[in-house]
Each structure stands twice: as C-alpha cells, then as structure tokens.
Amino acid sequence: MKVWELGHLVLYVRDLQRSRRFYRDVLGWKEIEVPGGEDFPAAAFTSGRTHHELLLLEVGPSAAPLPPGRRVGLYHFGLKVGETDDELREARDRLVAEGVRIVGATDHGVTHSLYILDPDGNEIELYIDVQPARWKDDPSAIFAEMKPLRL
C-alpha cells in the first residue's frame, strides 16, 4: 500500500452554525451541500482540489472540550493560503479584522506560518511555501531551525 495524499479531515464541533461561519466566511472555504438535513448535522468544505477536504459533525454544547497542553491526538492541521508573504499578510489582516486570535507565527525556513484556533479550540496552521524546491530536493529541510516570523 502507498498513501497518495491526505484526503480530508473530520472534526467534531459543538455548534455547527458557528463553525460553518468560521470555515466558510472567515477562512474562505467553499461549502458543499450535505444531504440529510437535520438528521445529519454536518457541513462539508472543499478548496476545489478534491470532493471535500473538511467535514464538520455537530456533537452539541455538552461535548467535552479539548484538553489543554500536551496530549495524544491531533496537534494542528495545515492549510496552504498562498505562495507569498503578501498573501500571508492579507490572511493575517483578514483574521485580525474578523477578531480571530493569532496564537503563533513561525519562520520554518521552507514555510512561513501563522497559527490560529477554530471556535472549538482546534489549532490550524495557515502557511505559504517559501522554498518549495528546497524541501522537494531535501525533505530534511522541513526540520530546519524555527525562527519568529516577521511579516
């Protein structure tokens, strides 16, 4: 077996409408219709690369929150938002205008990244590739020394 690519993510969310607005209106994903209506409280999104890349499943307000700190499970997922620092600055400015708190900003050498939290506390890395040829020729380059990102 060989994995070809990461296909999609599925996240449990407390409030589907709140999360739908965040992923669609703030991050700009294209929402696609999910059959089932109220019998299947879900929302699906695509960038256009595949049928869907993100599926949200509503579990309600009483669901346990993500525990803080080091834990087993998902740390964050990354979304490529462009290829230039100007595009990353535009993303940053949009986030700030929408009241989204940026919890980190890192220069990874091969990428420049901003880190945010979605409404349920899932961490998301928004990044641009700054040296794609470097990591394609030398995959170990992704583990270069991290530095604070200055946009």
pLDDT profile of the chain (151 residues), mean per 10:
94 97 97 86 95 96 91 94 95 97 95 97 95 78 90 90
pTM reported for the whole predicted model:
0.92
pLDDT value of position 134: 77
Give the DSSP letter of residue 51. S
CATH of the domain at 25: 3.10.180.10
How large is the greatest C-alpha to C-alpha distance in the chain, in angstroms?
48
Buried b (16+ CB within 10 A) or exposed e, 48-58: eeeebbbebeb
Give the DSSP letter of residue 9. E
Residue 144 belongs to domain spanning: 76-148
The strand pair at 30-32 and 147-148 is best described as unpaired
Number of domains in the chain: 2
Q: Based on the domain organization, do 80 and 144 belong to the same domain?
A: yes
Q: Based on the domain organization, do 95 and 135 belong to the same domain?
A: yes
Q: 91 near 126, Cβ under 8 Å? A: yes
**CA gyration radius for the chain?**
17
CA distance 66 to 75: 11
Give the DSSP letter of residue 74. -
Instruction: Answer whether residue 131 is part of any domain.
Output: yes
